[in-house]
Structures are given as C-alpha cells and as structure tokens.
A = this chain, B = another copy of it.
Amino acid sequence: MAADVKTKKRRTQGERREEAESKLIEAATVLVATKGFDGFSLAEVGDLAGYSRGLPGHYFGSKIELQNRVAEHIVSEFYKDAADLPIRKRGLQRVNDLIRHYIRVSKLERVKALTFLFTQAQIEDSLKKTMTRLHNQAISTLKQEIEIGIENGSIRRDVDPLLQAGVIYAFLRGQLAFAVLDPSYETVSLGETFIANLKQSIQAG
C-alpha cells in the first residue's frame, strides 16, 4: 500500500513533468503554425498550454531549444504516421499508397508548422539537422519501395530509384505549399494526376 502510494508519487513527479513538457510543445506547435517560427513569446506558450507564463523558460531554458523540440516532435509524429500505413501490396502500388497517404495529411496545423520549420532550417543549423533527417527518411522510404518494385516486377528495371524518389518527394513537398496557402485547394486530384503520370513513366511492361 504505502509502497504503492510512494511509487505512484515517484512516478507522478517525473510523469507530470513529461506531460507538461508535451503539452507545452504542442502549444508551441500551434503557435508556430499560426504566428510563424518566431512570432510568439514563451509566455504565450505557457498561457495556451494552461500552465504558468514562466514554465516554458524554466523547462526548456531558451526559446530556440523549445523550437528545436517542436521540430523533433513534428518529425517523430510524421514517422509514426508513416508507420501507421498498413502494407497491402509492395512496389509501385505501395509507392502510390504512400503518395496518397502523404497528401491526405493529418492535421493542417502540424503541416503549417512544418513549412515554417523547413524554411527556417535554411538559416538555423540546429533545425537543419532535424529537418534534413526528415527529408532523408522520406526519400529513403520511397527509394526502398521503388527498389522493391523493380525486384517484384512492378517497376521498370531502368528506373533510377534515388532520382525517382527525389522527384516524388519534390512533388509532395511542392503540393504542400498550395495546401497550406489555400486549404480549400484540391490537392487530391493533383495527386491522382501525378500518380497517373508516374504509372506511365515507371510502370513495368
């Protein structure tokens, strides 16, 4: 009993901190999305998360550190998203599934924050690392699937997996720009057009 209580308390201390950090990061994500990479104050983050105005500074030490944590958080969410897509067929079919998955984009707010982070990564070295990791991971996933497609005969042998992965990813990154600028934009038919093109270019036989 006593032990239980103690354990509970001991965990609570660490867990409460973890939960608070998590909520602060999510609040910061919203603020990045709505006010830009630097357009908010640490106090606002505390307010929005329902904690004190001093807490973000207390936990993260500096603003840039919090911004980096936001980047890492978003990237890891994207990893999770990608992992969530069930595998049906491999090769070309799955490449197309991945494209649709990417476009069907979960939360607009997260995507908006992402574009700010990508852009800022040009000039902020700590971000550049994190965001490049995301780029590379996405391209690598596509490349691997193309290689599988070549092996299982759904994709032509003369296709360059890395370059094709790059082309696909560039398209996906580009259509994001439309999506965030004008949320009513019809990105789905754009994606289907791209997929149709792709079939004609790389489908085997």
Contact = CB atoms under 8 A, between A and B. Distances in A.
* Interface-central residue, A166, A170, A189, A201, by most chain B CB under 10 Å: A170
Interface in A171-205: 171-178, 180-182, 189-190, 193-194, 196-198, 200-202
A78 interface: no
Contacts of A166: 178, 190, 193
Contact of A170 (B119, B160, B174): B174
A39 interface: yes
Interface in A80-125: 112, 115-116, 118-123
Contacts of A128: 181
B123 A34 contact: yes
Contacts of A39: 38, 123
A169 interface: yes
Give me the 9 closest cross-chain CB pairs, A-B, nearest first. Answer: A174-B174, A170-B174, A173-B174, A197-B201, A170-B175, A119-B119, A163-B193, A200-B201, A171-B171
Interface of A: 34-39, 112, 115-116, 118-123, 128, 131-132, 135, 160, 163-164, 166-167, 169-178, 180-182, 189-190, 193-194, 196-198, 200-202
15 contacts: A34-B123, A36-B38, A38-B38, A39-B123, A118-B119, A119-B119, A121-B181, A132-B182, A163-B189, A163-B190, A166-B190, A167-B190, A167-B197, A170-B174, A197-B198
